[in-house]
Structure 1
Amino acid sequence: MRVGVCSSGGHLSTLRLRDIAAAGRHHEALDLFRHALRHSEPFLSISSILPSAILSAAALSLSPAAAQLHSLALKSGLLPADPFVLTALLSAYSRLRLLPLACRLFDEVPSSAAPTSAFNALISGHALAPVSSPAVLALFCRMRREAVPFDDVTLLALLPAAPPAAIPPLHGVALRAALASVSSVSNCLLSCYSRVGAVDFARQLFDEMPDHRKDLISWNAMISCYAQNGLAHQVLDLFDTMEHSASVEPDAVTLNGVLSSCAYLGAHSIGRKIENYISQKPSFDSNTHLKNALISLHVRCGDLARARKIFDEMPQRTIVSWTAMIAGYGMHGHGEEALRLFDKMIEVGIRPDGIAMVSVLSACSHGGMADKGMWYFSSMKTAYGVVPSREHYACVVDLLGRAGQLKEAWELIESMPVEPDGPIWGALLGACKIHKNVELAELAFEHVIELEPTNVGYYVLLSNIYSDAGRLDGVARVRAIMRQRGLKKGPGCSYVDYKGKVHLFMADDHSHPQAKNIYEMVLRLEAMVKNDSEIYGNKRKENLPLTGFHSEKLAIAFGLLNTEAGAEIVVIKNLRVCEDCHQFMKMVSQVPLLLQMRLWSGHMKLGQRFLWKPVLSVPHTVVDVQKLDVVFLEIDSLLEHIYTKYVSEVLAHQVFGMRNVGASLSSVNRRHSSVRWLLSIDSASCCLRVRTYSHDLLEQEGRGAVPAVSMPAALCLPIWTLFSNRVAAASR
């Protein structure tokens, strides 16, 4: 589109050109510039329209046009005297990645003639380079030497490209120049401190900012700082503060950071609240990035059904959406479903990338599908164009290791076309732990500590391998090496999300308000496990773990104390779960109908996650047994029916024989029969008063114990719920 210019309208042409260029209509701006050159009077001020034309050429990546405009500026005598033309050319060459030309042009300018804007343009150009250049700081130092004033634009260009050690001094420079109070500079400093991991400095700066200067960018910068440094708990606390005290509304960036932290901590209830908030905002509800974050949240919190529902309802799915859902199925052990979804992704025309293939291989590993995993690995380059990387090799080593094919895993490492890294040797070391191969573990350990000498996890893993093999000398040797190198195992902690708050537990920690009840519950769980071991044989009794009050146990106890029957408890551990605690969890999950456990573990930086679903609650009401007659009468017939159906009619006649021959049971006999039944359904959850009374009654009556029975959990939950409700009603 051509735009005419009146010969007497030079000023009008300048304004129109600037407005058109500022609006992003760069082709039109260049057309207007050419038209102005051809039709305007000879004395039209070209210096007023040339900067806009130069920047439009750069925006369109027209390097030849920028060079022509540079020549025009030289012919017109505008260089190096005109600061606007000089700055525009420096910015254009920087944007076009022609930094040598920009430097040459800048060097042609006398030191006294280079304005602040020219320095800013060249600093920005160096900052845009793929690799941070020391020239950035050198230019700023030159500004200071030559007394060229700097402004907030200078700092905004300089800070992101500065090395970590330069951030605090530059912060001091900003304070002395009274520029740290500028919101954009403060926000930039927050981001820089986040980048270098200086969280305390960032929070101090954030707290020192007046509330009226904390805009959305400030809150997002601080939330991102916590999120990027793994401080998910602080993210949620800050978001809560933002909701209740700030005058700004969260945007998609805010919610993405918070959702990732919810996923990290397993804070499912908080994530669901944010999901509801998103659903009420049309602009958010259609945001693919937020939908992907929600899928990751539900996947990591174990709610695969909700994650799949969001996935299925997405109008447009990216490769990230597919990968998140595939990875979710894989980490939860649904390998077949993960592969079906992967095949569907291929059918709809989504080409997998390297991350998607990692999810597929990991799903095969966790699903015990070694053959399928090897097929995908061998065909990923020819079928999908994905060249195997170290991460893929690590997955395959883990795949073979879990399947017990340690020799094949070793041979794969030996034949790799690239040098194996730490995770690859670590995967082999982990496989040696599973299959108790001490010799190969020592070899893998030698390689892995050469690559990652400060990774404490590998030392602990080898120590555990020695411990399992009874090699106490090896355990002592590993600990001695750790002491020599100043390495310490980080404290383990477990998280539980309850009523929108994440509760943190550490081993032997008594700081929680419910600590007394929590520790009592742990002791009760251990007693139940011990009792169950005695019932079912010496093998499990011998394996009874004596691990003290580890964080996992405290978290589980807290969840049981504070949740209703049927509620799901998500316990997240930041480190690998020790073998004894894992064994304890397995044994607790096998106590008749007390807990149903699903374990999910895998190649995740977030560590292992355990999902516990209590089937039965623990009533605390002490009820006079005389009030329970009606309760037992109601339940007794149901118990007889179940006993007949799921055990045998013969035993049913023995247990309920008095009634079956027409005799009427006394209320006492009916009571203790039902109580014994309920104790068979849940060996410890019945309140102590009723349990003790029932044993007293049995002794008084001289009757033997009612035979225990195993029945489907689906039937036990309704029975126990009915019993609990009736007991509660009788106690009121």
Structure 2
Amino acid sequence: MTKQSFAVHSTSNSLSHHLHLTAGKITHTACASYNTHLRQLTKHENYQQCLTVYRQMLRSNATPNAFTFPVVLKSCAVLSLPISGTQIHSHVIKSGCQSEPFIQTGLISLYGKCGLIEDARQLFDESPHSQNLTVCYNALVSGYIRNNQFLNGCELFARMQFNGVRIDAVTLLGLIPGCNDPRRLKLGESLHGFAAKLGLDNDLRVANCLLTMYIRCGSKELTRKFFDCMPIKELATWNAMISGYAQNGYATEALDLYQEFELMGLDPNPITLVGVLSSCAHIGAQKFGIDIEKKIQNSSFKHNIFLNNALINMYARCGNLAKAQEIFDSMIEKNLVSWTAIIGGYGMHGEGETAVHLFNEMLRANIRPDGPVFVSVLSACSHAGLTDTGLHYFDLMKMKYGLKPGPEHYSCVVDLLGRAGRLDDAQMIIKSMPMEPDGAVWGALLGACKIHKNVDLAEYAFDRVIKLEPTNIGYYVLLSNLYTEVNNMEEFAGMWRLSHVYKAD
């Protein structure tokens, strides 16, 4: 090689090396820029847009890295997109980042939130590194609880303790919701004791979670005692109490607590007021609800869709359908809950034809119906005597929308047929149910038998409903009244005595 050719060759190699380094820097800069954009999108809960930008990133040849994947995996988890999530998992493997703790956590959390808990466990078991990390345990514990596998969640929690893995507030936030059942109250109390031992009960997130657990277990006294003993109460604490009371039928207590809240000079947020309005709806406290509406109108969240839905529900349940309709019509944005509230309101007050009209209008607006709205429209048809229309909707639910009717839908159809005097058809519907009929189904048949004075079938329905709900006085009263109407005073006397035994209990 001549000196001249050597010089050219050396220059060429140097230039190639320089271009390679420059390209690497450009790619790195582009990746960092995309990562910043993706983080901002998720921060503002624009999860769908985050995934769109991620796809643009791939098309631009910018290489995702360990800072990219946790963000996009979270977006898939929130949107419940298992297919997109598994595709991103393959990108993770290709990049060689799978051992990064926050990526492992993101993958386990994704599979747990998408109902693929076995895949989450397999991923955990196949990574020895994960089995020493609190964040990975936390994601899997939370996934088990979310997928109603409480025992597996408890087993993993015990394994954490056995292996000396650090337990933190997030661990308990994942496990405590598994005790939101009266049968697990003692376990919940044990977790409370464990949290206190570690000093984690002072973490407001854990304290609020414990409050929710106690109230959902129906332990009103324990909840209030714990709440009163809390040295610091933030807005989320008050919201947990008010919403907990509202969701568990303690409407009066919720409104009393809200008045305490106001006396403290605290400012509510939409979550607070949704709980209050729900309680107003439950006990018909329209005057209280009107005051809340005034507060909403003077606030920055007067167009909040959840609050407007709660106002529609409150006014509708209180019988003020004109006001409910006014709010519904004024809404800039309506969702399925908005339609369900207004349809249910008309239905419960006997205006079935209006409810049906609104339901058809909702379908024309391309709002896809779900189970609850079908309950509302079926109930409306039942109360208005629109038998054929109701049966058409029941078929539509299954055939067109692929929804599986639950016991609540079957009880509406039994009531629909029963009110129309089609008691044999009502029996056939019950026999065709793919699940065991519950008390509401047999109660609907019993009510229909009372209307049409069918004593034999009423006794048959009563025998079944009373096995399911032996202390429900309403069923005893229904059969007693039927005996009175057919002048069977001997049976009436026996039923009257039996009902008073349970009433005394």
Q: Tell me the TM-score range normalised by the shorter chain.
A: 0.7 to 0.9
1:293 aligned onto 2:310 = yes
Aligned equivalent of 2:244: 225
Secondary structure of 2:202's aligned partner: coil
Provide Cα deviations, 1:383-416, integer angstroms capped at 9, x if missing partner.
Answer: 7666655433322322333344434434544455
1:338 aligned onto 2:359 = no
Tell me: CA distance 1:54–1:126, structure 2 relative to 1, closer, same or farther (3 Å).
farther
Aligned equivalent of 2:293: 275
- For 1:508-547, what aligned pairs fall within 5 Å after superposition? none
1:359 aligned onto 2:382 = no
1:271 maps to a residue whose letter is G
Aligned equivalent of 1:167: 188
Shift of 1:417: 6.3
1:241 maps to a residue whose letter is E
Question: 8 Å contact 2:101–2:133 — kept in the other structure?
Answer: no
Pick the aligned partner of 2:479 from 462, 474, 477.
Answer: 462
Shift of 1:371: 4.8
Shift of 1:99: 1.0
Provide Cα deviations, 1:236-264, integer angstroms capped at 9, x if missing partner.
Answer: 001111112143x2111111111111011
Secondary structure of 1:180's aligned partner: helix
Question: 8 Å contact 1:300–1:328 — kept in the other structure?
Answer: yes
Shift of 1:148: 3.4
Shift of 1:223: 0.6
- For 1:136-535, what aligned pairs fall within 5 Å after superposition? 136-162=153-179, 163-210=184-231, 213-247=232-266, 249-282=267-300, 284-374=301-391, 376-377=393-394, 381=398, 389-414=406-431, 419-475=436-492, 477-478=494-495, 487-488=502-503
Distance in 2 of aligned mates of 1:148 and 1:290: 43
RMSD: 3.8
1:63 maps to a residue whose letter is T
1:131 aligned onto 2:148 = yes
- For 1:513-662, what aligned pairs fall within 5 Å after superposition? none
Distance in 1 of aligned mates of 2:230 and 2:248: 21
1:317 maps to a residue whose letter is K
Aligned equivalent of 2:110: 95
Question: 8 Å contact 2:473–2:502 — kept in the other structure?
Answer: yes
Aligned equivalent of 2:86: 63
Tell me: CA distance 1:365–1:91, structure 2 relative to 1, closer, same or farther (3 Å).
closer
Q: Which runs of 5+ in 2 are unaligned?
A: 1-20, 43-49, 77-83
Question: 8 Å contact 2:54–2:72 — kept in the other structure?
Answer: no
Secondary structure of 2:125's aligned partner: helix
Shift of 1:73: 5.3
Distance in 2 of aligned mates of 1:151 and 1:275: 41
Shift of 1:205: 1.4
Shift of 1:66: 3.5
Shift of 1:172: 0.7
Question: 8 Å contact 1:160–1:192 — kept in the other structure?
Answer: yes
TM-score, normalised relative to structure 1: 0.55
1:265 maps to a residue whose letter is I
Shift of 1:192: 1.9
Provide Cα deviations, 1:421-479, integer angstroms capped at 9, x if missing partner.
Answer: 32222111112223333222101112223444454432333233334444444345446
Tell me: CA distance 1:468–1:5, structure 2 relative to 1, closer, same or farther (3 Å).
farther
Shift of 1:372: 4.4
1:104 aligned onto 2:122 = no
Secondary structure of 1:488's aligned partner: helix
Tell me: CA distance 1:242–1:443, structure 2 relative to 1, closer, same or farther (3 Å).
same
Aligned equivalent of 1:662: none
Distance in 2 of aligned mates of 1:13 and 1:379: 51
Shift of 1:306: 1.0
Distance in 1 of aligned mates of 2:418 and 2:317: 24
Tell me: CA distance 1:240–1:470, structure 2 relative to 1, closer, same or farther (3 Å).
same
Distance in 2 of aligned mates of 1:5 and 1:208: 62
1:260 maps to a residue whose letter is S
Secondary structure of 2:166's aligned partner: coil
Tell me: CA distance 1:51–1:275, structure 2 relative to 1, closer, same or farther (3 Å).
same
Tell me: CA distance 1:403–1:57, structure 2 relative to 1, closer, same or farther (3 Å).
closer
TM-score, normalised relative to structure 2: 0.77
Q: Which runs of 5+ in 1 are unaligned?
A: 38-48, 80-84, 491-732
Distance in 1 of aligned mates of 2:395 and 2:135: 56
Question: 8 Å contact 1:90–1:102 — kept in the other structure?
Answer: no
Shift of 1:207: 0.8
Report the count of equivalent residues.
Answer: 457
Shift of 1:355: 3.1
- For 1:659-678, what aligned pairs fall within 5 Å after superposition? none
- For 1:47-62, what aligned pairs fall within 5 Å after superposition? 51-56=66-71, 58-59=73-74, 61-62=84-85
Question: 8 Å contact 1:398–1:428 — kept in the other structure?
Answer: yes
